[in-house]
Structure 1
Amino acid sequence: MSDKGSVAEVFRAFLALGLTSFGGPVAHLGYFRETFVIRRRWLSDPDFADLVALCQFLPGPASSQVGFALGVMRAGSLAGGIAAFIAFTLPSALALLICGFGMGALTDDALSGLIHGLKLVAVSVVAQALWGMARTLAPDGPRAGIALAGLAATTIGAGVMGQTLSIAVGAAAGLVLCRGETPQPVGHIHVPISRTVGASALILALALLVALPLLAPLGGHVLAFFEAFYRSGALVFGGGHVVLPLLQAAVVEPGWVTAPDFLAGYGLAQAVPGPLFTFAAYLGAVAQLPPNGLAGALIATLAIFLPGLLLVYGALPFWDALRKRPLAQAAMRGAGAAVVGVLAAAFYDPVWTSAIGNGLDFLLAAAGFLLLTIWRAPPWSVVALLAAAGVALH
């Protein structure tokens, strides 16, 4: 950092981005670079590249983790990171919370048409994410094989266990199949966090991941709800869209959220700025059992973001040493390939099977996919188009 700023400065800068950052995690990182490297000059390009590499290495929402870390580094305190997180997340979380409440105000015909159109949006968006992730994370024979194995493991061992096993086996396979030369790191990240504090954050993140499933049956529905979203946020490797299968297993299979409401919310999440993880606010609001409504949205949003923020806060003091370890890089390549398979399994069921019922559905979903990938249409316009088509068809 060229100098230190205030928490208020961090909040204002990230609130502007939270209101205008459409396009998903990759686009968010572009906005961050333009704002904080080029225009505000908070840090250099090599330092920004290092920070992005760290957040892509860790599980969690990469763009939110980068923003949180920038807030910590700029303000020189945890308060700066929290300010950046709240400002960047709040606009989209509020928008999706309102959408969740608004679902109940629609007539049956309009609601069924809207939900169907948003399911088609989910097909287009997940297909685009799967295509891009496969090209990036599984570009060669060994990683394509790991992705296929991940698809098989997720399909055969449905649910959370199958997904977790896929990622774990992918990381182990990466240690054998994905070892190679790692580019020499450049730059250096200066952070106002001691190694003791960082280690404490990492231990807390892991302790919660292990302890919450054991405590959830004893703590009632609220703790089980928190655990489901925390686990989903802790296992997202390779991109925000991977949260789709994890959340589907966490909230749809137990019956907390219906499959139509789930996919409708995922479609709506494409139309708002800010991080995709705020999809959790919608799910918390529409949950069938308490906590739901505003309380459910707050619990779900906090739980899904918490592990990623703890991990990046804890890893910052150790990143310079960690990124030089070839085995760590190889394991992450394998885990990244495995999540392509996990997402592919979710693309088939529930996304494809619940949305594509006839040739016209397929035509509309294909049009949305082409609009996103070939013509580079903004996601909100595809959401509006397919949602309107769904209502018209009903």
Structure 2
Amino acid sequence: MNDARHPWRVFLIFLRLGLTSFGGPIAHLGYFRDEFVTRRRWLTEAGYADLVALCQFLPGPASSQVGMALGLSRAGYAGALAAWAGFTLPSAILLIVFALGLASHGDLFPAGAVHGLKVVAVAVVAQAVWGMGRKLCTDLPRVLLMVAAAGGVLLGPSAWAQVGVIAAAGVIGLLLLRPGAVAAVDILPVTISRRAGACWLALFFALLIGLPVAVHWLPGQPLAMVDAFYRSGALVFGGGHVVLPLLQAEVVPSGWVGNQAFLAGYGAAQAVPGPLFTFAAFLGASMTVAPSGWLGGAICLLAIFLPSFLLLAGALPFWQSLRKNRRAQAALAGMNAAVVGVLLAALYHPVWTSAILGWRDLALALAALAALTWWKLQPWVVVLACALVGWLGLAPG
């Protein structure tokens, strides 16, 4: 336990971060830098920046993947699991409890408060669109890719349409975009061979392709849930907010989760620390068909995070050569622009269309956006304030 490289020690360090890291993925990366670069000196500033670049390059939740990589470098595969569990379980447990309470004692959550949570989701996604757009859509070609992606997603509202839009943007980026050169930096001390990395990548693609086939030939709710959440976690570039439209397309039209519960849970996810991907635990616990509750939450949580680990473990041995490949960087630039478009489409539907029902809702959403963007209030403060406003009847339910 006193060994700084023991998985249990890694778990306790990340558990503290999981209990206190409010503010979304960018804030999480700041907390990690303070803890592991400045305080503990697990790696250098340049090494940390390179690790963040890798995790932003890969699909999945960047902050969680950075945590897994840090645990992996400290205590091997057990350390990666310990880091993930410590950072993820606090918010996952809170969201499952919220889901169970919403299902069993819905009267304890007034309609106005739930509506306030849905309204604040508009502000949160709008802030993400604005921030990501400024960072990732820096010239006219990228802006046009963003607009085209948003239009394509709205015209074809399905998970595979969104995947197709992102893939097409990657091809266009490969042909048209010209990213800058990348300098060499320190390498994270992770002992994964290229052979092992290739095996992890092969498993990632085998599950991505094989799970839909398995669902077709072996229909069953647990396998269908694993397929839906694994695919959502595997195909999301840009972090937690972008997973919203993919998950909405999987669980709402199928009747697994009601749209009101979906948006209420998304709003509640802003009020807890840790990664936004733990929203999957809420959805699993909220399923209208078995398995649901704690088992459903655990299944969906593991399924949505599994591709993040497989991609990280597979990419780490090849990262230094990949990051110098300008063709790969150009394709990624196109995909990132499309991600902003997917998020812009999600801002309109289902987030805006389900939450903004009148001028008072619009005023509350604008106030929440100002609080997040200009007043720099913590998201959990804004979320709770909007829920309170809704509960007091200032936002129509």
Q: Deviations over 1:17-68 (max 9, x none)?
A: 0010000000000000000000011111111111111000000000000000
Contact 1:155 1:162 in 2 (8 A): no
Aligned to 1:390: 390
Alpha-carbon contact 1:285-1:293 (below 8 Å) kept = yes
Which residue of structure 2 lines up, in the alignment, with residue 126 of structure 1?
Answer: 125
Name the amino acid aligned to 1:5. R
The 2-side partners of 1:226 and 1:39 are apart by 38
- Taking the TM superposition and a 5 Å limit, the aligned residue runs for 1:238-387 are 238-387=238-387
Aligned-pair CA distance for 1:219: 3.5
Structure 1 position 223, deviation (Å): 0.4
**SS at 1:351's partner residue?**
helix
Unaligned runs of 5+ in 1: none
**Contact 1:93 1:278 survives alignment (8 Å):** yes
Equivalents in 1 of 2:108, 2:188: separation in Å?
54
Check conservation: 1:51, 1:66, Cα contact below 8 A: yes
Judge conservation of contact 1:103–1:111 (CA < 8 Å) in 2: no
- Stretch deviating more after TM superposition (110-119 or 194-203): 110-119
Deviation, 1:90, is: 0.5
Q: Is contact 2:43-2:188 (8 Å) kept?
A: no
Supply the distance in 1 between the matched residues of 2:222 and 2:108 (Cα, whole angstroms): 33
How far 1:108 sits from its partner (Å)? 4.1
Equivalent-residue separation in structure 2 for 1:6 and 1:107 (angstroms): 43
* Secondary structure of residue in 1 paired with 2:392: helix
Matches of 1:110 and 1:101 in 2, distance apart? 12
Distance 2:118 2:85 in 1: 29
Partner deviation per Cα, 1:200-240 (whole Å, 9 max, x = no partner): 00110111001111111324111011100001001110222
Q: Aligned partner of 1:156: which letter?
A: L
Q: Is the 8 A contact 2:47 2:188 kept in 1?
A: yes
TM-score (norm 2): 0.96
Distance 2:333 2:364 in 1: 34
Residue type matched to 1:215 in 2?
Answer: A
User: CA shift at 1:181, angstroms?
Assistant: 2.5
Q: In the aligned structure 2, how far is the partner of 1:181 from the partner of 1:389?
A: 47
TM-score (structure 1 length as normaliser)? 0.97
Task: Read off the aligned partner of 1:54 and give its amino acid letter.
Answer: L
Contact 1:153 1:165 in 2 (8 A): no
The amino acid of 1:243's aligned partner reads V
User: Quick one: distance in 2 between partners of 1:25 and 1:46?
Assistant: 19
**How is 1:201-220 mapped onto 2 (pairs within 5 angstroms)?**
201-217=200-216, 218-220=218-220
**Aligned position for 1:137:** 136
Is contact 2:179-2:333 (8 Å) kept? no
CA distance in 2, matches of 1:60, 1:84: 16
- Partners of 1:266 and 1:233 in 2: CA distance: 16
Aligned counterpart, 1:227: 227
- Distance change >3 Å, CA 107–CA 201, structure 1 → 2: closer
The equivalent of 2:65 in structure 1 is 65
The within-5 A match list for 1:190-205 is 190-205=189-204
Distance (Å, rounded) in 1 between the aligned partners of 2:289 and 2:136: 38
CA RMSD of aligned residues (A): 1.3
Q: CA deviation at 1:115?
A: 1.6
Question: Higher mean Cα deviation, 97-106 or 245-254?
Answer: 97-106
8 Å Cα contact 2:73/2:188 also seen in 1 = no
Question: 1:219-262: per-residue Cα shift (whole Å, max 9, x none)?
Answer: 41110111000010011102221011111111112111111000
Correspondence for 2:49:
49
Name the SS of the counterpart of 2:110 in structure 1.
helix
Letter in 2 for 1:141: L
2:87 pairs with 1:79 = no
Contact persistence 2:61–2:238 (CA under 8 A): no
Q: CA deviation at 1:105?
A: 4.6
Alignment partners' CA distance in 1, 2:140 and 2:312: 31
Contact 1:51–1:189 under 8 Å retained in 2: yes
Percent identity of paired positions between Structure 1 and Structure 2: 56
Please state how far the C-alpha of 1:149 moved relative to its aligned partner: 1.1
The answer to whether the 8 A contact 1:189-1:320 is kept is no
Gaps of 5+ in 2: none
Q: CA deviation at 1:290?
A: 1.1
Q: Partner residue of 2:148?
A: 149
Task: Tell me the amino acid that sits aligned with residue 200 of structure 1.
Answer: C
